[in-house]
Amino acid sequence: MNTRQSRWSRWSDGPTVRRSVIAAMLIVAGVTGCATARQFAALRQVTFAIDGVRGIRLAGVSLDGVRRVSDVSTFDAARIGIAVLRNQVPLSFDIHVGGSNPAENPTTARLIRMQWTLDLNGRETVSGVLDTAYTFPPGLTTDVRIPISLDMAQFFQNSATDAIDLALGLAGLGTRQTEVVIRAVPSIDTPLGRISYPNPITIVRRTVGP
């Protein structure tokens, strides 16, 4: 009799244990799903805008402080001209993106990774990945720095003067309009691991020289 009861007990306990495990898993999944949804909702409320472009270097020439083409020395202009003739015109700069989390959002948003693609004047240029983690507390704006490096000769067939104008246009200077577009796919940290946005977000800045 004891043996039968023992067997019956094991048989009846099995489904109960399984039901308990399943219930616990559902609870964990529910909590995890809620946490993930909160993280997505928090980051979706953050608005991104390009605040500026700094540290511009064209063919190794720093353009910080340059306000017009005539501000570039003869020697530096020659360096840029030689780079154009060689069909190698490296351009590097930092795009600073401000991420503003509204004060009414009760959650601090967190960004752990961001894939990005840069368009200049409607032309897709380079892509990259930003692996630096950033937090966006409610009511504050966080500066996100995206380092950019590209060879303009691969994308723009311009003279040395045109190249300088485009580089100055990135800083809101120069003689022609420069359109800067960043298409980004942010990723957030969740209890399930890293999850990326299903669709890219677009951050646009248009600058017009004097």
Q: Is the pLDDT of residue 18 over 50?
A: no
From the list 98, 105, 109, 97, the residue with the least C-alpha distance to 40 is: 109
Given a contact cutoff of 8 angstroms between Cβ atoms, the answer to whether 80 and 118 are in contact is: no
Q: What are phi and psi of 101, to 5 degrees?
A: -100, 120
Residue 174 confidence (pLDDT)? 65
d(CA 39, CA 135): 11
Q: What is the mean pLDDT of residues 152-167?
A: 72
Q: Please report, for residues 49, 138, 143, 173, 189, the alpha-carbon distance to residue 40 in angstroms, rounded to integers and kept in the order given.
A: 19, 15, 20, 37, 9
Residue 46 confidence (pLDDT)? 81
Given a contact cutoff of 8 angstroms between Cβ atoms, the answer to whether 48 and 203 are in contact is: yes
Domains by residue range for the chain, with CATH:
39-207 (2.60.40)
pTM of the model: 0.74
From the list 182, 21, 32, the residue with the least C-alpha distance to 116 is: 182
Mean pLDDT across the chain, nearest whole number?
Answer: 76
Residue 149 confidence (pLDDT)? 95
Residue 193 confidence (pLDDT)? 63
d(CA 199, CA 131): 18
Residue 143 confidence (pLDDT)? 96
Nearby residues of 140 by Cβ (< 8 Å), 6 or more positions away: 100, 101
Residue 107 confidence (pLDDT)? 80
